[in-house]
Structures are given as structure tokens and as C-alpha cells.
Amino acid sequence: MSGVNDPIPFLDLSGEYHAVEAEWFAAIHETGQSGRYILGPNEQAFEEELAAHVGTKFSLGVANGTDALLLSLRALDIGPGDEVITTPYTFYATAEVISLVGATPVFADILEDCFTLDPASVKTKITDKTRAIMPVHIFGHPARMDELNAIAREHDLAVIEDAAQAYGADVGGKRVGSLGNAGGFSFYPTKVLGCYGDGGMITTDDEAMLERLKKLRNHGASAPFMHDTVGYNSRLDEIQAALLRIKLRKLDDDVAKRRAVAARYTELFAGSVVKAPTLPANGGHAFNLYTIRMPERDRVRGVMNDNGIPSSQCYPLGLHLQEVYEHLGYKVGDLPVCDQASTEALSLPVYPAMKMEHVERIADTIIKALG
């Protein structure tokens, strides 16, 4: 029997699994018999279906979201001597790929209301070495793409969207992933569109870029066993692609359910000192996570832990202050909005099958702990 004080899971994907199990198993069975396990018919069909859904001409399956961003930078020929402006308030992979291609990540500050890259701060970071801007649609909130694209046009920069957390978010009805030169998605299980392993996708309208990306994901091969580029082994396998095709058909419904969970939290936090996440002025939030800000975060989190209430501290330390970037010389206070978010923000669970009574218990515990 479940009681009122049972621990609440941060994420429970088991219900969703039962809903896709039969269809997925049939697809696995078919794939097994087909003998085509890598870059086969499911992967190709999923690329077409995802591009149509996102609204780009092309998409290309890769091994994970990190590779989606890494290969995009390589395809744009970004490397040593180049700078890429990005946000410090994100998962490390965003900046890691900039370092991996030999370029330098340059961190701009974020906006207080939605945790995404601040276009005004980006402007102050542009130098003659800047080649690209990499905004992140963090937690599922779309970045200010209109302003960022305008800055990019003015300075002749590429824009790579890190859409890893934001499948289903949009700006003015155009889905994220279709708003820059390229978009990178992750299908890591905890993401809005997740598979049961690793997977990723690059979206683009640029056919020349697509051709470079195809080569890069397959060891830089120009023809079988002929290589003119140092590439990667980065492919999406048939079994995950088959699952993702099934899940893509439910995606809009899943995002609607995430938004309903978020709306319930926001309703419950109204009138308290908790700052609920803002909705984009012109677009849709995908709510991969529901991230609040509040005073005494660490004390409240302790009370939550004692009561079996899960949370995640996204993100405890801005990337500009991480040990790996010590050589870049950033100090506490250089990006004050990010620093403040690191001390106040707490991410709460959201998933399509989340029970509203859990949402209520979580909000209630937080409000009571704040007194």
C-alpha cells in the first residue's frame, strides 16, 4: 500500500514503457530479422519524420546529444583560434564540445527570468575571433532566438541551438532546432524525447552542412574505405530509432501533459515567495524540468529530502567557475545573474505521467518549509 509519506520518484518512466512496449518489441523483432542494425530503414524514416516535425529540411541521427553539437561545430569548421559564445548555466556538454574542437568557450551572462543566454551580455563578448553563438533552451524554455539571430547576422556568426532539453518548445510557432544554422537534440532517457539508451539528432536546412555532417558521423569517409577528414563513429542505431519513431507520435501529447503539470505547480506556488518559472512571451516551454527560485534554498532542500521529496540542483556552479575552465580566468561576480541562479534555483520533477497528488505534496512541502 502506498502512504502519504512514501518517497516520490524524480522520474518514473515505467508507465510510459508499458505504453510503448508491444509496438517497440514488434519493431525490434522485425529489425532482428532484417539483418540491418545501423543506419537502416528505421533510422532513415526517423530522420525524415523528425525533420518534418521540427520544421527543417534535414536531420541526421548521431550517437548522442553531445556529438550532435560536436559534429555541428566541426561541420562549421570551428576550431583552434576561434571563440564560441555560450551560456555558463547549462550542462557541461555545451561548453565541453567547444573545447573538444580546440576552440575557446566564451561565457556570457543569463537572463534572470528564464535562465537563458542574455543577448545584451552576448554583444559585449564579441571579438574578431568570435565564430558562433550557442544558445541553450535550458529546462525547455526557448532562448531569445530573434535577438540572438539578429546579433549573429550583424556580426556574421553561426548559431547552433543546444536543444537537448527542449524538444517541443517553440518561438512564435517555429520549433526549436529550426531557428539557427543547426540544432542539436539529445535522446538521453531523461530528456523530453528520450530513448532507452543514448541517441542524438542534428537538424539543419543547409544541404552542404548536411553532407559534411554525414561524412563526419562515419569516420570522415568520402567513399567506402576512402577518408579525407578525421571524423567520428557517431550513429543512431535501429533499435533506438524504432522506439523514437513510436515516441515521436506521442510527443505533442506528452508536452501538453508536461505543461499541465507545470501549470499546476505554478498555481500552487502563487502567493508564496517561490518564483515559478516564467513562460516565454512568444512561444512554448517544453518543461523538461520545472525550475523554481527561492530564498534559503539549501535549508528548504534539506526539509524536502527529509520528507521524501526529490529535487535536482541544476546547476550548482556556473561553467565559467568550474575547475576545468580555471585557465580562462573568470571570477565570482563576473557573471552575477548566473552566480545568483546557482544559489537560488532548484529543479522539480516533471514528466507526462506525473501524478497531480505528487505535484501537490511537493509544492505543499516547499511552501510549509518556507514558513
Ligand X SMILES: *Cc1c(COP(=O)(O)O)cnc(C)c1O
Q: Rounded to the nearest whole angstrom, what is the least distance from the CB of residue 365 to ligand X in the complex? A: 26
Q: Which stretch binds ligand X (CB under 6 A): 50-58, 62-70, 231-239, 243-251?
A: 62-70
Cα(48)–Cα(57) distance, integer angstroms: 9
Q: Rounded to the nearest whole angstrom, what is the least distance from the CB of residue 200 to ligand X in the complex? A: 5
Q: Which residue is nearest to ligand X (CB)?
A: 65
290 near ligand X, judged by CB under 6 A: no
289 near ligand X, judged by CB under 6 A: no
Cα(64)–Cα(200) distance, integer angstroms: 4
By rule CB under 6 A, what count of residues binds ligand X? 15
- CA distance to 11, 45, 110, 176, per residue, from 147 (Å): 34, 34, 14, 15
237 near ligand X, judged by CB under 6 A: no
Among 91, 115, 139, 269, binds ligand X (CB under 6 A): 91
Q: What is the DSSP string of 141-171?
A: PPP-HHHHHHHHHHHT-EEEEE-TT-TT-EE
Closer residue to ligand X, CB minimum distance, 162 or 238: 162
- Residues in region 196-225 near ligand X by CB under 6 A: 198, 200
Q: Rounded to the nearest whole angstrom, what is the least distance from the CB of residue 185 to ligand X in the complex? A: 8
* Residue 105: HSE in the Cβ half-sphere, 13 Å Cα cutoff: 31
**263: Cβ contacts below 8 Å, ≥ 6 apart:** none
Q: Which stretch binds ligand X (CB under 6 A): 27-35, 61-69, 146-154, 294-302?
A: 61-69
Q: Rounded to the nearest whole angstrom, what is the least distance from the CB of residue 273 to ligand X in the complex? A: 28
Closer residue to ligand X, CB minimum distance, 191 or 215: 191
365 near ligand X, judged by CB under 6 A: no
Among 56, 72, 86, 90, binds ligand X (CB under 6 A): 90
Q: How far is CA 230 from the centre of its chain?
A: 27
The CA-based angle 162-164-169, given to 5 degrees, is 90
Q: Which stretch binds ligand X (CB under 6 A): 91-99, 145-153, 238-246, 346-354?
A: 91-99
Closer residue to ligand X, CB minimum distance, 188 or 290: 188
Cα(324)–Cα(321) distance, integer angstroms: 8
Q: Rounded to the nearest whole angstrom, what is the least distance from the CB of residue 267 to ligand X in the complex? A: 27
Q: Where are the alpha helices (DSSP H) in 76-141?
A: 93-100, 119-124
Q: Would you say how long the chain is, in residues?
A: 371
Q: Rounded to the nearest whole angstrom, what is the least distance from the CB of residue 265 to ligand X in the complex? A: 20
Closest C-alpha to 241, from 278, 187, 189, 293? 187
- Residues in region 134-193 near ligand X by CB under 6 A: 136, 162, 164-165, 186, 188
Among 56, 87, 94, 121, binds ligand X (CB under 6 A): 94
- Find the helix or strand (DSSP H, E) in which 252 lies: helix 251-269
Q: Rounded to the nearest whole angstrom, what is the least distance from the CB of residue 271 to ligand X in the complex? A: 32
The amino acid that residue 281 corresponds to is A
Q: Rounded to the nearest whole angstrom, what is the least distance from the CB of residue 73 to ligand X in the complex? A: 13
**42: Cβ contacts below 8 Å, ≥ 6 apart:** 27, 31, 238, 241, 242, 245
**Residue 341 contacts residue 88 (beta carbons within 8 Å):** no
Closer residue to ligand X, CB minimum distance, 70 or 171: 70
Enumerate binding residues for ligand X (CB under 6 A). 64-66, 90-91, 93-94, 136, 162, 164-165, 186, 188, 198, 200
